[in-house]
Amino acid sequence: MINLVILGAGNVATHLAKAFSNAENITLKQVYNHRPESLIPFKSFVTTTTDINQLEKADIYLIALKDDVISEVAGLLKDNAALILHTSGSVPLKTLERFENHGVFYPVQTFSKKKEVNFREIPISLEANSAKNLEVLKELAEKISNNIYEIDSEQRKALHLAAVYVNNFTNHLYSLGAEICNKNEIPFDILKPLMRETVDKLESLTPREAQTGPALRNDKQTISRHLAMLEPKRQELYKTLTQSIQEFYGKEL
Amino acid sequence: MINLVILGAGNVATHLAKAFSNAENITLKQVYNHRPESLIPFKSFVTTTTDINQLEKADIYLIALKDDVISEVAGLLKDNAALILHTSGSVPLKTLERFENHGVFYPVQTFSKKKEVNFREIPISLEANSAKNLEVLKELAEKISNNIYEIDSEQRKALHLAAVYVNNFTNHLYSLGAEICNKNEIPFDILKPLMRETVDKLESLTPREAQTGPALRNDKQTISRHLAMLEPKRQELYKTLTQSIQEFYGKEL
């Protein structure tokens, strides 16, 4: 039986608390957050506290807080025998090095409080300061997910960068697609099956193999027609993306 | 009963022929293509021809060929009473105006021959030269899809541009994410649930609401760290996307 305390009440903490409270051989003992109103949704299934000096004794303290307060909140923890973890994609392991036992438990997913997730499918990237602690981390992760990866701090930095491309930047392209639809009174829903298929294709093809479109074909007529349809402030990104595709495939511009 | 002939043997023609050959109250009479080897996969379920002068008599001729040959092949059709359609997102309706009855039947999806699709979920964008022909087009589209949209040529041009953003450009971002993973020995699969969720989130949020990440937060430290991890040739696109996000939300750069 693993006794667990979660620090944080945001999107990641919410989904982790739900997943761990339903997991076998885990006791989620407590959720801590300094703002009492953030703890209200947790009260139905777990003990909560706003006082970091009143934390329950546990085997693992999981810090699911914003990157810039992880170090500060970790500094307030007094249990030096426990395993101390954070859940951040971009904070290095060594931020927790003052603890004898420390690690990273990073779920590679975007969370919204309102949207249910199936944690079993969410990849969890793990790192620890010792082989022994890594084993504990794996045991913990396996309680809620079937997708466990061992990733060191350097790799995690790269993974976080790659996630910016496939999530943040991609979402911005969706925004620009939706903007074009709105201006032309086209329902954005018409594009959603295409957006899903763009991801689903990568089950059988690499993205390099899956690329299509006017940039790859160097179809100058279509590219010019598209640029003419865009406001000047949107043209630069269209051009830069087109050039990046052509450079990626070693094409002449 | 609608009698149909399809001209073309590419990805779109392949999936349309399969869908129509299984549809009720449609007779797919023939598939035409000038290259006999391209017709081989069709022979098990439909009559084929490589001779455009040997086309069967039909109510509808559906031209699912590359954009730049639609006009030429349409010029060889002799049945002036039939309804002549093309399937292109970027070719205007008036390309077929020499025919008394003409229209556009554009499935808004990316197709690979190998990958099965559920046509019922694929949006089909329709346009016709008359209200009467639009009714025939709707009747045809309803045989294979539940997602039918009436879209004029100007809107279809815009829709095709939006599709470039959410399919071609997005796929390129996946390529760049995969490149980062490969260089750092991270399996690209770790990002796929995140990629799917980025699309799925838009069932309940607009992309404008769903945006997250260092560009939106104007987290200069993370942006600098990311730029330092990228090769110079990748930095420009990262910067242009970051600026575009900040401009989209009216943020100071």
CB-based contact, B41 to chain A, within 8 Å: no
User: Closest-CA residue in chain B for A123?
Assistant: B190
Q: Which residues contact A175 (CB under 8 A, 6 or more apart)?
A: B207, B208, B211, B248
pLDDT confidence bin for A252, thresholds 50/70/90: low
Query: Average pLDDT for residues A212-219, to the nearest whole number?
Result: 92
CB-based contact, B241 to chain A, within 8 Å: yes
Domain stops at, among B151, B181, B196: B151
Which among A77, A102, A101, A107 has a CA at the least distance from the CA of A11?
Answer: A107
- In this structure, the answer to whether residues B135 and B161 fall within a common structural domain is no
Q: How many CB atoms lie within 10 A of CB B224?
A: 11
Give burial (CB, 10 Å; 0-12/13-18/19+) of A194. buried
Is residue B230 within 8 Å of residue B238, measured between CB atoms? Answer: yes
Could you report the per-residue pLDDT of A105-123, keeping only the tens digit for each?
Answer: 999 999 887 778 899 999 9
CB contact under 8 A, B194 and A109: yes
- In this structure, the answer to whether residues B166 and B41 fall within a common structural domain is no
Could you report the per-residue pLDDT of A36-90, keeping only the tens digit for each?
Answer: 999 999 999 999 999 999 999 999 999 999 998 999 999 999 988 999 999 999 8
DSSP secondary structure, A110-157, as one string? ---TTS---GGGSEEEEEESSHHHHHHHHHHHHTT-SEEEE--HHHHH
Query: Average pLDDT for residues A143-167, to the nearest whole number?
Result: 97
- In this structure, the answer to whether residues A33 and A133 fall within a common structural domain is yes
ipTM: 0.92
- In this structure, the answer to whether residues B107 and B170 fall within a common structural domain is no
Which among A116, A67, A79 has a CA at the least distance from the CA of A5?
Answer: A79
Rounded CA separation A112/B145 (Å):
32
Query: Average pLDDT for residues B59-83, to the nearest whole number?
Result: 94
Could you report the per-residue pLDDT of A119-133, keeping only the tens digit for each?
Answer: 999 999 999 999 999
Q: Which residues pair with A85 in a beta bridge?
A: A62, A103
Rounded CA separation B205/A114 (Å):
11
- Model pLDDT, residue B213: 92
CB contact under 8 A, A121 and B172: no
Mean pLDDT of chain A: 95
Give burial (CB, 10 Å; 0-12/13-18/19+) of B185. exposed
Domain carrying residue A230: 156-248
Distance to chain B for A170, nearest Cα, Å? 6
Cα–Cα–Cα angle for A10, A16, A21, rounded to 5 degrees: 125
- In this structure, the answer to whether residues B24 and B39 fall within a common structural domain is yes
- Model pLDDT, residue B146: 96
Rounded CA separation B59/B133 (Å):
11
Three-state SS at B31: strand
- Model pLDDT, residue B251: 75
Rounded CA separation B253/A162 (Å):
23
Q: Nearest by CB to A191, from B114, B163, B168: name it.
A: B163
Cα–Cα–Cα angle for B47, B49, B50, rounded to 5 degrees: 160
Domain CATH number, residue A26: 3.40.50.720
Q: How many domains does chain A have?
A: 2
- In this structure, the answer to whether residues A123 and A160 fall within a common structural domain is no
Domain CATH number, residue A175: 1.10.1040.20
Domain stops at, among A116, A134, A151: A151
Mean pLDDT of chain B: 95
